[in-house]
Amino acid sequence: MFSRIAKISRPQAHQSLQRLRLFLLLDEAASRAMTWISANAGAGKTLLMASYLDARRLPCIWYRLDARDADTATFFYYLREAARQTEFPQAEALPLLTAEYIGSEAVFAQNFFAQLFVGAPRPYALVFDNYQDLPDDAQLHAILNTALQEIPPDVRVFILSRTVPPAGLARWQANQRMCVIDSPALCLDREETAGLLALRPELELDDDLIDFIHERAQGWAVGVVLLSEHPSRKNTLLENSGPGSEERVFDYFASELFEQAPEIVKSFLCYTALLGEFDISLVKRLTNITHIENIVRNLVRRNLFIHQKETIRNSYEYHQLLRDFLVAQAHKRLPAEEIKKFQIQAAQLLVEEGQIEEALKLLLSASAWDVAARLIVEHAEEYIDQGLSLGLIHWIECIPEDIRQTSPWLLYWFGVAHMSHNPQHARNIFESAYELFMLHSDTAGELLTCCGAIDAIVFEMSDFSLLDKWSDRLEQRLPGLPALDNPMVEMYVTIGMFLALMYRNPGHKELPKWVAKIEEFVLFGSNIKFRLYVGSQLFIYYTWWIGNLARADSLLTNLQPLLLAFKGMPVIKITWYLFTSCNSWMLAKTNDSIETANNGLRVADESGVHIWDFVIRAQAVFATLSSGQMDIAQAYLERMAESLDLHRYLDVAFFHHLYGWYWFLKGDIQQSYEHARLAVEYAERAGTLYFILHGRVEYCRNQYHRGEIAACLSGIGEAKKAARDIGANTVLYVASLLHAQVVLEQGNLQDCLTQLRAGLALGRTYGFLNHTWWLPTTMSRLYALALEHGIEKDYVEKLIRLRKLLPNDDYAIDDTWPWPLRIYTLGRFSLVKNDKSVMSSGKAQKRPLELLKAIIAFGGRNVSEAKLMDSLWPDSEGDMAKQNLKSTVHRLRKLLESQTIQWRKGKLTLDLRYCWVDVWAVERKLNALLQALPDNPARLEHELKGIDQLYHGSFLQGEDESYVLSLRERLRSKILRVFTLAAEQFFAQADYDQAIAVFRKGLDIEPLVERFYQGIMQCQQALGHPAEALSTYEHYRQVMQNRGLPPRQR
């Protein structure tokens, strides 16, 4: 973008004095990390440094500090350019100090300097010249103090200044890490004075003249040069001291020299002084001066305060003392209009060479405001892209206010430059720019200003209602967009419309059209940073707004090559971690989500890019709360609180939403309620409908737990209606599940099933696997109910397995729950682990399976190890039996899951949270029916059918251990009793067919129960089927005779 000459070009030291005495001092300072050379103007600091580097053949980066370096981004931009011009291996990889590093400049600087010299030649030198020109309040003082510690030991740092080291660098000197060479050391001794004069062979030197000049100059190098031009003059001024004395002395002698010069030389000096830095070809193109090469050669030969620079065109510049004097002379000798014309012409030539900032300095010096303004506008976007927004603000502020306020494009870029660090001020500037664009009927300007204001409002994260005005203006001017035929403007308009509608009007009929355009731009656009920024917004829209996780996943997949290709850029790397963390949470991969969030925060700390910290920590809170890691979640929340800006309403709403969830899981409903209330309050201040609705749903959840049932249900209904209107499927999903929970607790099973069916259908359609305010016990209960009633069976089972949910005690009493382990003991013995049968491998598994059967037979809970040892190893001694038990438990745990078998305080338990056993499921159903049979015949039939589906035969059929027989008989007795009671109830209700069916099921289990035959015959008689009753009796008599038992008489 710019051809940096003055700031980063090294001065040459042709015909300079070799100050060997100081060279030795500099050699001795090599053991120190830094050398500070401090002396007044004209002491020879620059030439000393340049000649020393030549003598020691030290390659270097030479950087001249000035007021522009008050903007730290400008400093690092120039330093990067210097590395590029020097062809450093890492130069292209060096970052620019762009907006994402705001607030972390020190970390950025450390990383920059640590990377700067990687692969560079050694030894090397880094020279900072004119340190005194850096403003006192510049942030760079503190940054360099820290960052220079990253310089490798074989890279020497030299700082040249008219001032002593600032206080911030004092510890470097105290710690023997900095050598200071000050004014007394730089004063010329007599030998050096003679050596400097000897560079002028035309002088007739003798010892008296050398002594005279040395005495009068008092070691001041500039004084020696001046006196060598007028050795006969009395020089009382050289003995003066105090502020500005050097300048006064210099001006006195320079005026003498200037007046004696030929007119052509005077003209050359005046014109070239106005340029700052110049080369011969440039001066030839601007003036009619002849013999320019001879003039320059003579000035250099006489050491008259002119330095040649190492540039392509061998440019020159005057010592600052001389230049200040010559500029004053130029303004005395030349008409103001001629100076202005000259500087404008020179600026135009500099622009052609890419020296934009040098050109701007000339234009501003000439008060050529309009030309300067046009040049600023022309290159403003380049400044923004390079992270030089403060530099752009500086140049724009150099334009007088009255002119600035009449230039809409200047104001537009002024607003853009303020966007990253003061979006509210940027928005106000855009307002002024928009009005001017309207006066000029500039459609492109109007559209871009609307988009700029929309961006500023989104950056503010505060009052999104301000978007309405700008989106209306943007829509009104859309008809003029095609005529512009400008892809850049069209891109900005697409982004602006998408953001405005997404945040303020998500139900707008045109939003899908803009979403499609945005996705195309994100996937195929040319501007990487815009693609990344807009891609993050689109990802939020797909995930949180409409819940289209398939589109979000596709977007992430398609963006992955781009993100990975630029992972060297910290902001892109962090954004990638944020995306993947969010995606992992959506997929219920909470550990992955936490890990990638932490990776993002680690890169942020290493790089100093903290723009995503708040959001990444919020994502980590989502993951830790979802997985029950409360202490870790609290730590993240506390860090979020530290950086919370109460003026960023959306951030505040987000924060309270998460804290409400935290307290809800902790069981503190009052705290949760207060945070949920604040979340809604700040979401409404922000004016983003999605966050308002999501906040209201969780506020309703707290109302329910506070007993405010009517208000809760009313709020849920309103939220669901609004969510449908804008397509906020995530809100509708969570609200439907909450609705189901509330009405279930109120005893309205049918309404619960309706809401559950609607919510889970949404979840299955959009692939929802996680949601905020997730509570395992609540979801376990709802999922069990869904399975019991056949609602979205495959989807619910997937969720249970993925979330590793445990069943609640009152639900999942049959095998509809997707247990990780199922144990079948009725009519068979088999294990099903994760829906796959566990095949017995023979003798190796015999003992572990016998132990499992025994634990089940003894009730499965708190079975004493003594009882098990007596049953399984009755002949073993105590210690041997204990060892056998220990070994067998270990093998059983390997066969099942380790957490399935609990062994504490001498008792073993089969943990029902991780396995299902058919015999216990049947026994629970039987116990429930024995306590109270349902009055509803359909319900009773349903319960009996459930038992029938599970009972495939007697407990551990074919095995005759005493502990097996005990449970077998107990279960048989309960089943027969339940069947008897149920059949008699059906008989009493005159449901004879159903009664007969139940009696016959009882006979399938125990064919010798006379009461069942009697019941069947009674029902057949009641139905008017005496022949069937007689047939039943004959069957009964035959069965009894076959068993050798006497039948009862009819």
Q: What is the pLDDT of residues 69-116, one digit of tens each?
A: 999 999 999 999 999 888 888 888 888 888 888 888 888 899 899 888
Cβ–Cβ under 8 Å, residues 421 and 463: no
What was the pLDDT predicted at 248?
A: 62
What was the pLDDT predicted at 730?
A: 94
Q: How confident is the model at residue 245 (pLDDT cuts 50, 70, 90)?
A: low
What is the helix (H) or strand (E) element at residue 214, kind and residue range? Answer: helix 207-217
The string of DSSP codes covering 622-652 is HHHHHTT-HHHHHHHHHHHHHT--TT-HHHH
Distance of CA 206 to the CA centre of its chain: 74
Q: What is the pTM of this model?
A: 0.82
Residues of the chain with CATH 1.25.40.10: 919-1042
Lowest mean pLDDT segment, chosen from 120-124, 391-395, 715-719, 940-944: 940-944
3-state secondary structure of 864: strand
What was the pLDDT predicted at 231?
A: 60
DSSP state of 231: T
Lowest mean pLDDT segment, chosen from 216-225, 805-814, 997-1006: 805-814
Q: How confident is the model at residue 363 (pLDDT cuts 50, 70, 90)?
A: very high
Q: How confident is the model at residue 1049 (pLDDT cuts 50, 70, 90)?
A: low
| CA 915 – CA 870 distance, rounded (Å) | 26
| CA 183 – CA 195 distance, rounded (Å) | 19
| CA 626 – CA 959 distance, rounded (Å) | 46
Cβ–Cβ under 8 Å, residues 443 and 476: no
pLDDT at 812 over 90: no
Cβ–Cβ under 8 Å, residues 436 and 465: no
Beta bridge partners of 157: 34, 126
pLDDT digits (tens, 9 = 90+) for 1020-1029: 999 999 999 9
pLDDT at 234 over 80: no
pLDDT digits (tens, 9 = 90+) for 608-633: 888 889 999 999 999 999 999 999 99
What was the pLDDT predicted at 716?
A: 97
**So what's the architecture of 20-186 in CATH?**
3-Layer(aba) Sandwich (3.40)
| CA 551 – CA 41 distance, rounded (Å) | 66
- Which is more confident, 253 or 637? 637
Cβ–Cβ under 8 Å, residues 998 and 986: yes
Percent of the chain scored above 90 by pLDDT?
Answer: 54
Q: How confident is the model at residue 277 (pLDDT cuts 50, 70, 90)?
A: confident
* Amino acid at site 121: P
The mean predicted confidence, pLDDT, of the chain is: 88
pLDDT digits (tens, 9 = 90+) for 666-682: 999 999 999 999 999 99
- Which is more confident, 216 or 61? 61
- Which is more confident, 943 or 347? 347
How far is CA 697 from each of CA 578, 701, 715, 745, rounded to the nearest angstrom? 26, 6, 7, 17
3-state secondary structure of 306: strand
Determine the average pLDDT of the residues in 648-674: 96
Q: How confident is the model at residue 810 (pLDDT cuts 50, 70, 90)?
A: low
Q: How confident is the model at residue 61 (pLDDT cuts 50, 70, 90)?
A: very high
Supply the angle between the helices 1026-1042 and 1010-1022 in degrees, to the nearest 10. 170
CB atoms within 10 A of CB 366: 22
pLDDT digits (tens, 9 = 90+) for 542-591: 988 888 999 998 888 888 887 777 666 788 888 889 989 999 999 999 99
Q: How confident is the model at residue 493 (pLDDT cuts 50, 70, 90)?
A: very high
The string of DSSP codes covering 129-189 is E-GGGS-TT-THHHHHHHHGGGS-TTEEEEEEESSPPPGGGHHHHHTT-EEEE-HHHHS--
| CA 212 – CA 216 distance, rounded (Å) | 6
| CA 657 – CA 680 distance, rounded (Å) | 8
Beta bridge partners of 910: 901
At the top level of CATH, the class of 821-914 is mainly alpha
What was the pLDDT predicted at 420?
A: 85
pLDDT digits (tens, 9 = 90+) for 416-450: 999 988 999 999 999 999 999 999 999 999 999 99
Residues of the chain with CATH 1.10.10.10: 821-914
Determine the average pLDDT of the residues in 122-142: 91
The string of DSSP codes covering 722-761 is HHHHHT-HHHHHHHHHHHHHHHHHTT-HHHHHHHHHHHHH
| CA 108 – CA 96 distance, rounded (Å) | 9
What was the pLDDT predicted at 3?
A: 42
| CA 43 – CA 183 distance, rounded (Å) | 8
pLDDT digits (tens, 9 = 90+) for 313-323: 678 888 888 88
Q: CA gyration radius for the chain?
A: 44
**Angle of CA points 679, 533, 90, to nearest 5°:** 130
Q: How confident is the model at residue 171 (pLDDT cuts 50, 70, 90)?
A: confident
What was the pLDDT predicted at 252?
A: 60
Closest CA to 955 of 814, 828, 823, 813: 828
Pick the CATH number of 919-1042 from 1.25.40.10, 1.10.510.10, 2.60.450.10, 3.40.1710.10: 1.25.40.10
Residues of the chain with CATH 3.40.50.300: 20-186
